[in-house]
Structure 1
Amino acid sequence: MIKKVLVMGVLAALSVGCKTSNPIVKAPETEKKGDFKPYNKVITPAAISDKGLFTTHRVDDKLYFEIPDSLFNKDLLWVSRIAKVPSGYGGGYINAGSKVNEQVVRWNKRGKNVDIKVMSFENQSNEESPIYKSVQANNFEPILYSTKIETMKADSSAYVVDVTGLFEDEVAAINGMNASYRKRYKVKRLDKSRSYIDEVHSFPQNVEVRHVMTYEAETPPERGQAGTISILMNQSMVLLPEDKMMPRIADYRVGWFTIGKYDYDSEALKSDDYQIIRKWRLIPKDIEAYKNGELVEPLKPIVYYLDPATPKRWRPYFKQGIEDWNKAFETAGFKNAIIAKDPPTKEEDPDFSPEDVRYSVVRYVASTTRNAVGPSVVDPRTGEIIESDIIWYHNHLRSYRNRFMIEAGAQNPNARTLDTPEEEIGEMMRMVIAHEVGHALGLPHNMKASAAYPTDSLRSAEFTQKYGLTPSIMDYARVNYVAQPEDKGVRYIRMMGPYDLYAINWGYRYLPDADTPDDEKEKLDQWILEKAGDPVYEFGGGYGGFDPQAQRESLGKDQVKASEYGLANMKKVVPNLIEWTTKDGYAYDELEEVYGELISLWRGYLYHVVTNVGGVYETRKTSDQEGTIYTPVPDDIQKNAVQFLNENAFTTPDWLLNKDILDRIESSGAIARVQNLQSRVLNYLLNEDRLMRMIENEQLHNSDYAVVELLEDLRKGIFSELYNGQKVDAYRRNLQRAYVDVAIGYLNNIEADNKVAGTDIIALMRGELESLKSQLQRMQYSTSDRLSRYHYKDLIARIDRVFSDD
C-alpha cells in the first residue's frame, strides 16, 4: 500500500489537455533588488520586530512578515482558533480555544508577489508512477492569499511582505464567522474600522497572530444595543518537520483518531483508501535495550506544562492525570514517556509562552463553560502529533459536583453536599485530565468499553477498586450509579483500564525492524487477534445509536438492570435535595440546577434502555475472523426493555414530582416538563430507523419480537386506564396524546417522506390507530371520570380526522 515513495499533495502546476497550436508562455518575472523599496524605508527604526520562524515587524498600523528564502515552499500547518468569543456565541457550543480550521500552506514566490497556497495530502502517488502527473493535475492547489513583495534584505536572504490585509480583511478560510452564523446573527459586514491586529509573536518553529474581527449584526448573541459581534482570532503557523515520521496504518478494531488517504498506485481496480493514526513520535533512546524487552526512555518525551493560571490547589491532580498514562506507555516499552511540569519561572525559561508550539500546555480557562477538551496539532502528511493544549474550563467542576450528588448521594455520604470534599473532587479532576490527555494522545471515545463488565460487578468493592467502572478511561462512565447504599467500599469514580494499556501498546510500540507501514501490519494484526473475543478489548465509538452496548454514560453489560439500580438511587436522592443544596440566606438556585440535571440523567437512563429495542450488537472484525459483525439484540432483552419503559418511563413519575421542591423553584411547569420528557422517549422508541431494524430482523433473523408486538405492549401500558377503568391523570393524558400523535405523524407525512411511504411502517401505524380507535369506542365509558371520557372522545376524533384526510 505505501511501499513507495509517498508524494503527498501538489508540488507544481501542470499544463494539461490537448492543444492544436503552440501556446504563448509568459516567463515569470524575476525579482531584482532594484525593483523594491530600500529595506530601511519599509522596516523603519520605529518598527517593533520579533525574530523567530519569520521575523515579524509592526510599523505603525501595518504588519510585515520577513520570510527567509529557505522557507518558501516549505510545509506549514496553519491552525485557526477562536481565542475570545462573546457569551452565547454559537448557542454556547463555541468557546475560547475552539478550532475553526486546520490546513497546510506553503508560501510561494511568484515574480514580485508571494502567494499562500493551501496544500492537500489526501491523494498520493509514487513520483515515478505514470499516474503521478494526473494526481498533480487533478489536485491543483488554491491560493489563499496573495501580496506583493515590499523589500528584501541586503543579502537577498529574506523577502518582506505586507500581511496586514490577511488578518484585517475577511479571509474565509481563517475567520470565525461562518455562513451559518452570519445568517443566524444577521451579519451585514466586517467593520474594518473596528478590526485590527492585536498581538504578534514569532517563535523558532511557529508564528502566532491574534487579531480582532468586528462584524455589524442585527441580532448579536449579547449586548444587542451595540449591534456588533467581536471575535478575537488566534492564527498559528507551525513549521512541519522535514524528517517525516513513518505513518502507522489504522485498524478500525482499535480506536484511534485517523487521517484519510487515497493511494492511486494501488493494484486494486480503484484508488486504495485507508487511514493512518494520529500519534506522537516516540523513539527509544536505546534501540537494542528496547529490543531486549527493557523499559527505555524515548529520545523526546511528551511534556505537558501547567498553565501559570492553574490554581496551586489543583496542580497535583492535573499532574497525576497526565502522568497516569506512563503506566500505559510502559506496556509499549517506554518509561517516563509523558511528563507533567509546573510552569517555568522567568529565570528558568524567559522565553516560555503557552502559544509557542514547542510547549504543550494544560490551559486553565476562567470561563463559565462546563467542559474540558483535548485537541492536538497534527501533521496531516504522517499523522504525527506536533503539540497539544488540554483546555480545562473552570466551571467544569460544577458538572462533576452535581453528578456526584445525584448519582452517588444515596450511597456515599461525601456526595451529599455542594462542597464536595477535595479527595473526591480532586480524583474527578485527575480522571478528567487523564481522559483529555487520552484524546491528545490520539484515542477517541470508546463507548463500548463499559459493556465488558457484568453490571453487578460494579457493586463489588474488590472488583471496582481493581478494575474501575469500565475497561477504558475513554468511555463516558463518570460516576458509579449502579452501586447501592448497602454496597460498602466500592469505587465511585472512573479510572484507566486494561483497554487503554492495550490501545497505547498497539499505537505506540516501536517496531525497529519495520521499514514501511506495510511491514508493521502482520504484527499489529497479531496483537488484535490475541485479544479477539474478549469484550474488554473491543472498541465502539457509540455512533449510529443502534448498539446498546456502545452508549455514553451507560454502565455495565445489562442496561436495563443498570438503569433500575440508577433509578432506585435517584428515588432516594430527590427527598434530600433541599437539605443538600441550600444554605441559609441564599435562594434556591442550586436546588433548581441540580434538580434539572437530575431529570436529564433520568432521561439518559431511559434512553440506555430504549436502545435495546430493535438494537443490534456490533463486534468489529476483519474478513479473516470467524463470525459476523452485526447481531440483533435477543428477543427476551427487547421485551424486558419495553416492560421497563412501561413501568418507569410511561408511568407518571410521582417520585420526581416532589411538591416541596417544585414549590421552591417554579410557579408552574411540572406537567409540561414530564410531557416533554415522555414524548421524547416515546419518539426515540418509535423512530423510523428502529422500526425498520425490527422489521428487517423479523424477516432475516426470525425474530419473535415483532413491531406489532412492540406496539401492542406499548398500547397496553400507555392506555392501561382504558382497560382497568381508572381515571387518566394530566400526565397520562399528555402521554396518550403523544402516542396517537406519533402514529398520526407517520400517516400525515407519507407524501413528504418517500422513504417511509414505501415501508411497512405506514401499514403498521394505520392498523394500530384502527385497533386503538376500536378499543376507545368500546371502553370509553368504563371510567366514571368525565374528563377521562372527554379525553378518549378527543383521541377518537383525532384518529377520525386523519382517516378522513386519506
Structure 2
Amino acid sequence: MKYLLLIVFGLSLQLGVAQDKPIKNLDSILNTMPKSEGLLTTYFDGDKLYLEFSKEALEKDLLMVTRLKQLPSNYSAYRNAGSKTSEQLIHLVKVGKSIDLIQVSTTNVADEDDPIQLSVAQNNLNPILVTFPIKSEEGENIVIEASSFFNSDSPSFNIIPDGLKKDYKIGKADDKRSRINSAKSFPQNTEITHTLTFPTDNPPRGNSTNTFTFQVNHSIIALPEDLMQVRYEDPRVGWFGLRKYNYSSDALKSDEVRLIRRWRLEPKNKKAYARGKLTEPVKPIVYYLDPATPEKWRPYFIKGIEDWNSAFEKAGFKNAIQAKIAPTAEENPDFSPEDVRFSTVRYVASTTRNAVGPSVSDPRTGEIIESDIIWYHNHLKSYRNRYLLETGAANPKARTLDTPEEEIGEMMRRVISHEIGHALGLPHNMKASSAYPVDSLRSGSFTQENGIATTIMDYARYNYIAQPGDENIRFVRQLGPYDDYAIEWGYRYFPNSSAEEDQKILKSFVDERSTDPMYMFGGRGNDPDAQTEDIGDNSVQASTYGLSNLRIVAENLEQWTTTSGQSYEDLEELYGEMLGVYRRYIYHVASVVGGVHETLLTKGQPGEPYQVVNKAEQEKALEFLNENVWTPQYWLIENALVSKFSKSGKLKSVISLNKRMLNRLMDADRLNLMWDTNSSLIGNGLSPQELLDRLAGDLVYGRTTPDQVERELQKYFAHQLKELMSDDGLALELKGKSLALQNELKSYVKTKKESENETLNAHYAYILNVLEEENKGSK
C-alpha cells in the first residue's frame, strides 16, 4: 500500500478550522482545486496550496533553490532577475504528529565506516527550517498545514541580504500585500512562485512608494540517487567548486577539499573512448532556445552554444553539447522551460543590459543538473555602443548605431558562449587577456587564428588595440586554447579509477602547462595582468593605442551617432559611455603602480608565486598618467561636441574622474601595501615614498603656470596629503614621509604665491592654508 503525505501551504485558518485541529473532508476540498502531478503533486487555487508526495520521499535528498524572478528597479547592482538567493539540501522528516523541513549540511563529511562519522553527526546538528503539524491521518493520507511559509520572508530564503535591509531600512514582509502566485510540478521538480512586499523607510532614488515588491521562485528538485564521482579542484585551473571538510583525512586536522561543479559526461562506447576515438556521451548537454528568441538571432545562439564542442573534443567527446529549438505545445505538450529535465536559453524582453549563465548542481558531488541561460534584450545596446566606441577608429563596420546584423549576431554568439562557459563550470579568468603580445593584436593573421585572448571567459570583449590601417583584424572575442585546456581537465573521463587516482593524473597534466601564459588562470586582486576589460601583455602600450583610437572616436562621435533631424539623445548616451571607456583605459595603467604579479604554482614548479611589478614598469605607468590624466585632456570636452546635449558642460565630470584616480593612488591601504610588498616580496618595486615624490613633481613642481584643471588637482593633492596624516591606518614611516613632503611643498608654495598673477596668488595661498592647517592639527 502506497502512503501519501500532503503539505498545505496557505492561510493560518483553513475553512474556518483552527490551525491545530484536523481538516475534515480533505478529499472533497482537493477535488475542487487545479492539480499538477510530479515530484510533489500540487493543488493550488490562489488562496491555498497543498503539496502531496509519497511517503518514500521522507528523508530523501532534495535540493531547494530560491531565485529572484522579478525585483524592484534600482534595488542592487549585484542582483537581477535570475539571481540565486539560496541553495540548500533539505529533508522532510516525520517526527510524531509533525513533519520537519530540515536543512542538511553537506560541508562536513567523513567516511561512512569511520567511527568519527558519529562525532561529525553529533556536532553538526541540522537546523529545522519549519515544522508542519499533521492534521489528519485518515486512510492512506497524512495532511499537514504549513501556515504562511511562502507568504513570509523565511530566513532560509535569504531574499534580502542583511546589508541591504539595513541600508534601505526594510521592514518585515507585509502579508496583506504578499501572495503565492503559482505552483507547478514535474517528474523531478516542483516550482512555486510567490510575491513578497516589504515597506522601506530609505528607498533608492526614484522609489516614491516606500515599498519593495519581489517575485520569488522556489525550485524543489530531486537529486540523483546514483552519485557522480567527484573531481577534486586544482586551483591553477579555474573552476566553480564546493568546499568540504573531510574528518576522515589522514592529515592531522579536518582536511579542506574542494570539488568542482561539472556535468556528468560518460562515453557511450567506453572501449572506443579508451582507444582515443571521439565518442558521443551517454547523455549530452542539451539547451533549448526560448520560442521568444527572434528568428534572426537563433542561428547565432545555436553557434554560441555548440562552439564548445571543439573544446569537448579535446576531452574525447563529440556532439557533447547541443542546441535545439524548443518544441511547440503540439510537438511536445510535456515540454516546459521550468522542467528541470530541460536546460534553456531564455530571451527576456527587459531594459536590463546583461546576460547570465546560472546552473543548479548537486551539493553532494558537484554534478550540474540543469541550467538556464538568460539573455536580456537590451544587452544588444551594450554591445552596439561598445563596439562603436572601442573599435570604430579602426573598424568601419562599427561606425554606426545601426550595427550590421552579422556583426551584432557575432557579438551575441560570443556572449552566449561566455555564459555557457559559466554553466559548464568555468568562472572568469581575467589573467588570460595578458597572454598575447600587444603588437600581435594589430596583426590580421594572428587575431583571426587566435582571437584577442586565450579564453572566452575573460572580459576581453573587443580589440581596442588595432589601429586605423591595420588589415583583416578580428575585433570580437572567441574561444581560445585555455578553454580547450580547462574543459579537457574537467571533463576527461577515466574509467575504473577513483577520484584520488584521477587527481594524480590531472596534476601532471596541469604541471606541464600552468606556467605557460596561454594556460594561466588568475583572478583580479592586485595583479595588473588580471584586470577586467583589458587585452594585451602591456597595459601602458595597450592603453596608449586605446586612447589614440578614442580620440578619433571623439572627433567623429556626432557623425557616427546622429543623423539629420534626429535628437542628440543617443549622442549624449554614447558620450557618457565614452568617458567610461577612457576611465577603463587609464585605470588599467594605474593598476601597474604598486602591483604584484601572481602566478599560481605548486612546489616544484619554476618561478615565484608573487613578484612585485618592476620599478621601471611602474615609472612608465606614471609617465602615462602624467601625459594622459594629469595633463588636461580637453579633447574629452570639446565645445562642438558637448554643447549639443549639455547646458552645463562636462569639465566637472572630467575633473572628478581625475580626482578619483589621484585618490586611488594616494589611498592609505595602497601605500601600506606597497610598503609591505617591497619589504617582503621578490622584485625591485616602486616605494610609496617614491610614488608620493613623483606625484608631487608631476602635479605641482612640473606645472609652473597651472590652468584651471591643473589647479584643481594641485589643491586636491594637498588635501590628500592632509588626509594621509589623519589616517590612523597609515604606517608611521609613511606618515613621516607625508609630513616631510608637506613641508617641502609649503616651502615651494611660499615662493610662488607672490607672482603677478592674482589667480595663481589666490591658488597658492589656498594650498598654503591647507598645509598649515594640517601642521597645526598635527601638533
TM-score range, shorter chain: over 0.9
Counterparts of 2:138 and 2:297, CA distance in 1:
49
Of 139, 149, 172 in structure 1, the residue corresponding to residue 124 of structure 2 is 139
Amino acid at match of 2:591: T
Change (3 A) 1:38 1:299: farther
Of 115, 129, 135 in structure 2, the residue corresponding to residue 150 of structure 1 is 135
CA shift at 1:395, angstroms? 0.7
Whether 1:427 and 2:427 are equivalent positions in the alignment is: no
Which 4+ runs in 1 deviate beyond 6 A? none
Contact 2:668 2:727 in 1 (8 A): no
Amino acid at match of 1:795: I
Q: What's 1:691 paired with?
A: 671
CA shift at 1:239, angstroms? 0.6
Whether 1:663 and 2:646 are equivalent positions in the alignment is: no
Q: How does 1:585-624 map to 2 (within 5 A)?
A: 585-624=565-604
Contact 1:68 1:159 in 2 (8 A): no
Whether 1:553 and 2:533 are equivalent positions in the alignment is: yes
SS of corresponding position for 2:219: strand
Q: How does 1:338-377 map to 2 (within 5 A)?
A: 338-377=321-360
Higher alpha-carbon deviation: 243-252 or 119-128: 119-128
CA shift at 1:297, angstroms? 0.5
Contact 2:59 2:92 in 1 (8 A): yes
Higher alpha-carbon deviation: 458-467 or 95-104: 95-104
Change (3 A) 1:719 1:222: closer
Of 753, 758, 763 in structure 2, the residue corresponding to residue 780 of structure 1 is 753
Counterparts of 2:717 and 2:205, CA distance in 1:
39
Q: How does 1:94-493 map to 2 (within 5 A)?
A: 94-151=79-136, 154=139, 156=140, 159-163=142-146, 165-174=148-157, 176-221=159-204, 224=207, 226-493=209-476
Q: What's 1:11 paired with?
A: none
Counterparts of 2:167 and 2:595, CA distance in 1:
37
Contact 1:582 1:588 in 2 (8 A): yes
Of 42, 48, 58 in structure 1, the residue corresponding to residue 34 of structure 2 is 48
Of 507, 519, 538 in structure 2, the residue corresponding to residue 537 of structure 1 is 519
Q: What's 2:4 paired with?
A: none
Higher alpha-carbon deviation: 492-501 or 73-82: 73-82
- Structure 2 segments unaligned to the other structure (5+ residues): 1-20
CA shift at 1:37, angstroms? 5.1
Identity score, percent: 47
Q: What's 1:654 paired with?
A: 634
Contact 2:643 2:649 in 1 (8 A): no
Counterparts of 2:234 and 2:719, CA distance in 1:
44
Amino acid at match of 2:186: F
Contact 2:133 2:146 in 1 (8 A): no
Amino acid at match of 2:291: P
Amino acid at match of 1:180: G
Counterparts of 2:406 and 2:562, CA distance in 1:
22
Amino acid at match of 1:709: E
CA shift at 1:712, angstroms? 2.1
Q: What's 2:696 paired with?
A: 715
SS of corresponding position for 2:637: coil
CA shift at 1:669, angstroms? 4.7
Change (3 A) 1:647 1:784: farther
Counterparts of 1:629 and 1:433, CA distance in 2:
33
Whether 1:582 and 2:562 are equivalent positions in the alignment is: yes
Counterparts of 1:248 and 1:139, CA distance in 2:
25
CA shift at 1:681, angstroms? 1.0
Amino acid at match of 2:214: I
**TM-score normalized by structure 1?**
0.91
Of 720, 731, 755 in structure 2, the residue corresponding to residue 742 of structure 1 is 720
Change (3 A) 1:569 1:409: same
RMSD over aligned CA atoms reads 1.8
CA shift at 1:228, angstroms? 2.9
Of 485, 489, 509 in structure 2, the residue corresponding to residue 502 of structure 1 is 485
Q: What's 1:789 paired with?
A: 761
Q: What's 1:732 paired with?
A: 710
Higher alpha-carbon deviation: 453-462 or 663-672: 663-672
Counterparts of 1:611 and 1:178, CA distance in 2:
31
Counterparts of 2:65 and 2:46, CA distance in 1:
26
Contact 1:402 1:418 in 2 (8 A): yes
Q: How many residues are paired up? A: 757
Q: What's 1:71 paired with?
A: 57
Cα deviation, 1:316-359, whole Å, max 9, x if unaligned, reads 11110000000000000000000001111112210111111111
Cα deviation, 1:380-435, whole Å, max 9, x if unaligned, reads 11011110111111111111111111111111111111111111110000000000
Contact 1:56 1:200 in 2 (8 A): yes
Contact 1:63 1:163 in 2 (8 A): no
Contact 1:480 1:492 in 2 (8 A): yes
Change (3 A) 1:521 1:396: same
CA shift at 1:684, angstroms? 1.6
CA shift at 1:182, angstroms? 3.3
Amino acid at match of 1:738: Y
Contact 1:87 1:222 in 2 (8 A): no
Counterparts of 1:702 and 1:578, CA distance in 2:
47
Counterparts of 1:427 and 1:191, CA distance in 2:
46
SS of corresponding position for 1:314: helix
Q: What's 1:32 paired with?
A: none
Contact 2:259 2:366 in 1 (8 A): yes
CA shift at 1:224, angstroms? 4.8
Counterparts of 2:677 and 2:59, CA distance in 1:
56
Contact 1:285 1:299 in 2 (8 A): yes
Contact 1:373 1:390 in 2 (8 A): yes
Counterparts of 1:252 and 1:180, CA distance in 2:
30
CA shift at 1:179, angstroms? 3.3
Contact 1:481 1:569 in 2 (8 A): yes
Change (3 A) 1:280 1:494: same
Change (3 A) 1:508 1:379: same
Change (3 A) 1:704 1:252: closer
Contact 1:67 1:160 in 2 (8 A): no
Higher alpha-carbon deviation: 592-601 or 159-168: 159-168
SS of corresponding position for 2:198: strand
Contact 1:638 1:705 in 2 (8 A): yes
Q: What's 1:764 paired with?
A: 737
Q: What's 2:16 paired with?
A: none
Amino acid at match of 1:386: I
Contact 2:594 2:685 in 1 (8 A): no
Cα deviation, 1:541-595, whole Å, max 9, x if unaligned, reads 22x2x11111111110011000000000001110111111113333212111111
SS of corresponding position for 1:804: helix
Higher alpha-carbon deviation: 251-260 or 167-176: 167-176
Higher alpha-carbon deviation: 696-705 or 453-462: 696-705
Cα deviation, 1:751-784, whole Å, max 9, x if unaligned, reads xx3xx2x442212211221111121122334x54
Cα deviation, 1:429-468, whole Å, max 9, x if unaligned, reads 0000000000000000110001110010000000000000
Counterparts of 2:236 and 2:208, CA distance in 1:
53
Change (3 A) 1:152 1:205: farther
Counterparts of 1:705 and 1:209, CA distance in 2:
57
